[in-house]
Structure 1
């Protein structure tokens, strides 16, 4: 088997010359500052004062970046000098004279202060935290400011702490190296090589996560193999944990609920069985003896055929609480996924609510329900899950998808910060107006010992980590919003562009506009107006609204969701239909139930709407559907034009690679438009408006397309 080796390449910036880049450095490129910027920076920071610099990870990161940014070395001192950068924890002898102890205590081990202060009449810049990880976060914050805020401020006063205590990536990686819904090559984790051989990319992965405040990683697929809990694999997990620990990252594992039987040889995995409980308690003790800072378990149970407590007549609470009890002595947590649905129910969108609401308040304090942003499955647009506004006595954590399972995989440029923000800023009305998903889950409205947020990772062994260069922005955006959900999509895109490419306004402005428009464009050319799950069978890459597979469950097929007929299209979830709209709090339930008040971007999610229904702009539903699909196609073509104009500002390698993906996206947008409009036209029997682009495909030809994308998984 051919071995692949990865190298971190360092490129030196020479004005007027753009060198090739492969994307391997992500947003940690530290490109040389222009002479005037470097000079201005050197007047504010002339040296660094630090305890034991040789053992200080934060100092090491600062010094490496400083060399690359300025071409100089920061002199190190053991005392505060004029214009010193003073870094350390609150216990540092250098930090103590500044009187920050009480402030830092309130910010915790991960929070930090960056403040311009005076010491014995000397101006200096102080980076301080209660813990070492907080100091590292402060250094990354400063380095981000140096590269994105121009001119560098002569005075700073920053005080931050994370919005969520646990900010975790979920890796759907399998022991054989494949990744479920992975589109950037095979897994980073080389299980066969571990624990003896450590890839240098493990450290780079940890650095990248620390730079945006991610502090946890679930190493394996939620469709978990019991093997991950074997003694041999725990030694491998221990080796990864040792690499990640200095960067403030804890490891977690997805566990298979049948592990006591499958791995331990017990005749049952019933959570109320004494031997089963004893097995889990012993397994927890074994794990923590190897990994004292192990984070806990992620569990997918009684969902899509996976085993769970319901197999034994028990509830989700019974299963989660058994695991929570085993982890509690070690301060571990259980993240119990609420992604459940059964065949034969009238509306998959309402099933999780029906299953979990009766259990509200019955979970242990170290259990968190992990709830997908929408009630179906990471669709391009969904309303928020009703569980966010229903579970008032149970900690809940949002789960977002960073990997683009339903958004063109690694071929489409779709910036997901607007999607994350749309969910986090949505009002649940669970405690009156202003009860946003963010406030429900971050401890603002319902104080909990643990608050958390998760993102399904898009990371693989591809040189640029994520397959598409712009897909890196979604990893970045998740981390930044997990740290501070009040950031705007504009702010995040602006940072990422400047860090990943350059800060030239001629480049930043148009590229940012493209990114901010890209998610809405994808909705437009895929599934506008509340349409959902029109994807092809299995791989979810392209359109197949006509999909019919013999013997398949109805809720695995697009017709279950779009319900197109001669009268209209859309899923009736109102009082006269499945009544899932009633799961939302007032005034949302009334708004969604009424066709005239339902937001048009969700109208087909909640209503079966006549083809001739008049939209707010005077167009019929059919006409609006046609114009919206066409708009999506035109938006992607504008992305192509925008990117082509950026060639002078981007290295040739990344320019051509992004350009190539945009060509694919443009073709796919036409594919989506033609497939959906030609198919739905067989029901509406109305003409496609003559002032939009004609279909270039025949419906019969589109129905013959069968992609084999197994190599992605």
Structure 2
């Protein structure tokens, strides 16, 4: 199954094909001699057949020639090489060479050899070859292997078809139609993932329904696993820890209870009978009301190890999320996961990996790396990013997340001394971990273009590319995506890439400058609500985090405050310890700063706050102008859609600026030095209130 452009849509590009637009390239003649035939040293398999189909369709579209199959000596050869790491590949391009024919010197044929030790490596090599041709690059030798073993999308999709924090329509999975009706879109989704190296998918919400443990739903899940398998993708399930009670009708879900352990052993065996390559379980427990082992006086390790015991005979794994925090009005949510998990280091079973969010609060637009990275050397840790834009602009704001991802990956934890980056923690190179993983909360939905905002496709793409190779630069990834998705015109591509590269800082400036955090609207997390002071729990309010008063703004996390800085290695903490030397982007994360205190910018805190908020608004206007310059260079339907969303972003940036300046002015009592609010604070509060209505 491949992406097609239906007859009624040929006049415009609606974004459905993502970055897999195999339209003919201007330099097709450069590649045609390579596209004549294909041969393979591998035995046939579903994944190898996928590789053949992808190669054939891709070359047919890009060059106009579809390679014919040969038993040997094809112009493109799939070569088996046991020395290449699992899932890795090498591409060797043999140029024309002089050979003797009947005593005469003539030019020989060109060859491309895609070498791998597995059929999955061949599949990834095929996509790399097509990626080079799409960008009209000269073909060159390349060797590549994934940095982490599991490169996973976590879907927060629910049985009723909704998506928690989803902004691109309804769920991809039509549970009520499965297993009888299999939407071709499932195959298109798997194909897109395989093209960027994603090899694992958890299909349901971590706030899991126990319904997924019933025979009815396992039959549905099996169909998805069957669709994913030819693309090298393993299926995982999020599980409700109370399933023994809810499904098994037991009196308890205590992980040390023999009947509970027997339930999970039996249920796991049932799953593997239907899905032999089932990956394992993803678990959110004792977090935000979800059930877990602590209800029975047990630890997270007790719960994880019980499930690990159940999947061990089938080589499955358990992914246990570390996103836990107690509702402590006098504490600091920054410290909660560390306090729960640090004492458990070394107590988890060997087939358990602990999944840690990139930052200690909750996927904020800019956040320091989580202190657990660097604090659990005896436990494999997975890194969890949020691709869906819960706090980064929904589907109305452009926010290129590769920059955020790279900031975390490149942060130095000092776990084994200088150079112990988060990337090295999670790729296993510091601890020789046997399970390594990077996860991203998916941003896909039923919208025709998959991600709502078309430019948000770049975030899905960037996650896959960085999960494969975290050393890639954000600039390179942006350039790749733009040239495969929007335009091959060099000047226009540079403009589009620049929009992506500037977008993150722009968004931060008009929403959470200087390290301000968690000040969004309650419930749907839309828009600003810094005045939020009452909620179901204190750490769901805004005042818990910004700590604004007549003196200043920001959360003191030094020893004089919550002392969260002590959770980091001293060399890490040192960079944030002195407010006078702290990067202004993280200032309010760690310090309560006086309104009139002079910053390194030369402005006072209040003036810098006003300046950045107003600058962010102006930069959105600049992004609009940059995009307008692309008219005629990108597809008109795509152009119009993104243009409309940028206009919405400009409107929202005014709301954010005005809300923050007017609200925090009630504490600073100082004149607004940059920008003039368009509405009163009361009017803004009413707008935000209405948006929060159910």
Give the TM-score range, shorter chain: over 0.9
Distance 1:169 1:709, change over 3 A: farther
- Within a 5 Å distance, the mapping from 1:175-186 to structure 2 comes to 175-186=159-170
Alignment-derived partner of residue 8 in structure 1: 4
- Give the root-mean-square deviation of aligned CA atoms: 2.0
Alignment-derived partner of residue 330 in structure 1: 314
State the Cα distance separating 1:8 from its structure 2 match. Answer: 3.4
Q: 1:460-505 deviations in whole A, cap 9, x for unaligned? A: 0110001110011100000000000000000000000000011101
- Aligned counterpart in structure 2 of residue 220 of structure 1, from 199, 204, 223: 204
State the Cα distance separating 1:103 from its structure 2 match. Answer: 2.6
Q: 1:325-377 deviations in whole A, cap 9, x for unaligned? A: 11111111111000001112510011100110000000001111100000000
CA separation in 1, counterparts of 2:202 and 2:641?
A: 30
Alignment-derived partner of residue 111 in structure 1: 88
* Maintained 8 Å contact 2:522/2:692: no
The two structures have a TM-score, normalised by structure 2, of 0.95
CA separation in 1, counterparts of 2:689 and 2:228?
A: 38
* Maintained 8 Å contact 1:50/1:59: no
SS of 1:430's equivalent in the other structure is: coil
Q: 1:314-333 deviations in whole A, cap 9, x for unaligned? A: 00000000000111111111
CA separation in 1, counterparts of 2:125 and 2:400?
A: 26
CA separation in 2, counterparts of 1:391 and 1:671?
A: 42
- Aligned counterpart in structure 2 of residue 599 of structure 1, from 583, 597, 605: 583
Alignment-derived partner of residue 508 in structure 1: 493
Q: Which runs of 5+ in 2 are unaligned?
A: 100-107
Q: Which runs of 5+ in 1 are unaligned?
A: 1-5, 91-100
- Within a 5 Å distance, the mapping from 1:91-110 to structure 2 comes to 101-104=81-84, 107-108=85-86, 110=87
State the Cα distance separating 1:710 from its structure 2 match. Answer: 8.2
Alignment-derived partner of residue 28 in structure 2: 38
Alignment-derived partner of residue 67 in structure 2: 74
- Within a 5 Å distance, the mapping from 1:175-574 to structure 2 comes to 175-344=159-328, 345-549=330-534, 552-574=536-558
State the Cα distance separating 1:9 from its structure 2 match. Answer: 1.0
Alignment-derived partner of residue 675 in structure 1: 659
The two structures have a TM-score, normalised by structure 1, of 0.93
CA separation in 1, counterparts of 2:554 and 2:670?
A: 17
Alignment-derived partner of residue 148 in structure 1: 135
Q: 1:573-603 deviations in whole A, cap 9, x for unaligned? A: 1000000010000211233222122221111
Alignment-derived partner of residue 104 in structure 2: none
Matched, 1:65 2:61: no
Q: 1:601-627 deviations in whole A, cap 9, x for unaligned? A: 111000100011111121111111111
SS of 1:520's equivalent in the other structure is: helix
- Aligned counterpart in structure 1 of residue 604 of structure 2, from 607, 612, 620: 620
- For structure 1, which segment, 535-544 or 341-350, has the greater mean C-alpha deviation from structure 2 after superposition? 341-350
State the Cα distance separating 1:548 from its structure 2 match. Answer: 3.1
Matched, 1:705 2:687: yes
CA separation in 2, counterparts of 1:178 and 1:545?
A: 28
Q: 1:191-232 deviations in whole A, cap 9, x for unaligned? A: 111111100000000000000000010010000011101011
SS of 1:705's equivalent in the other structure is: helix
- Aligned counterpart in structure 1 of residue 122 of structure 2, from 105, 121, 135: 135
SS of 1:159's equivalent in the other structure is: strand
State the Cα distance separating 1:552 from its structure 2 match. Answer: 2.9
Matched, 1:25 2:56: no
Distance 1:710 1:162, change over 3 A: farther
CA separation in 2, counterparts of 1:357 and 1:211?
A: 37
SS of 1:221's equivalent in the other structure is: coil
- Aligned counterpart in structure 1 of residue 622 of structure 2, from 632, 638, 659: 638
- For structure 1, which segment, 338-347 or 459-468, has the greater mean C-alpha deviation from structure 2 after superposition? 338-347
- For structure 1, which segment, 383-392 or 129-138, has the greater mean C-alpha deviation from structure 2 after superposition? 129-138
- Within a 5 Å distance, the mapping from 1:674-693 to structure 2 comes to 674-689=658-673, 692-693=674-675
SS of 2:666's equivalent in the other structure is: helix
CA separation in 2, counterparts of 1:510 and 1:143?
A: 24
SS of 2:83's equivalent in the other structure is: helix
- Aligned counterpart in structure 2 of residue 581 of structure 1, from 565, 577, 593: 565
Size of the alignment, in residue pairs?
Answer: 679
CA separation in 2, counterparts of 1:19 and 1:669?
A: 34
State the Cα distance separating 1:312 from its structure 2 match. Answer: 0.1
CA separation in 1, counterparts of 2:681 and 2:289?
A: 35
SS of 1:453's equivalent in the other structure is: strand
SS of 2:76's equivalent in the other structure is: strand
State the Cα distance separating 1:298 from its structure 2 match. Answer: 0.5
Q: 1:38-62 deviations in whole A, cap 9, x for unaligned? A: 1111244443224688972211111
* Maintained 8 Å contact 1:210/1:247: yes
Alignment-derived partner of residue 98 in structure 1: none
CA separation in 2, counterparts of 1:335 and 1:62?
A: 34
State the Cα distance separating 1:80 from its structure 2 match. Answer: 1.3
- For structure 1, which segment, 39-48 or 258-267, has the greater mean C-alpha deviation from structure 2 after superposition? 39-48
CA separation in 2, counterparts of 1:42 and 1:7?
A: 23
* Maintained 8 Å contact 1:53/1:59: no
SS of 1:125's equivalent in the other structure is: strand
Alignment-derived partner of residue 97 in structure 1: none
SS of 2:570's equivalent in the other structure is: coil
SS of 1:190's equivalent in the other structure is: coil
Alignment-derived partner of residue 85 in structure 1: 76
Alignment-derived partner of residue 103 in structure 2: none
* Maintained 8 Å contact 2:168/2:395: yes
CA separation in 1, counterparts of 2:290 and 2:691?
A: 24
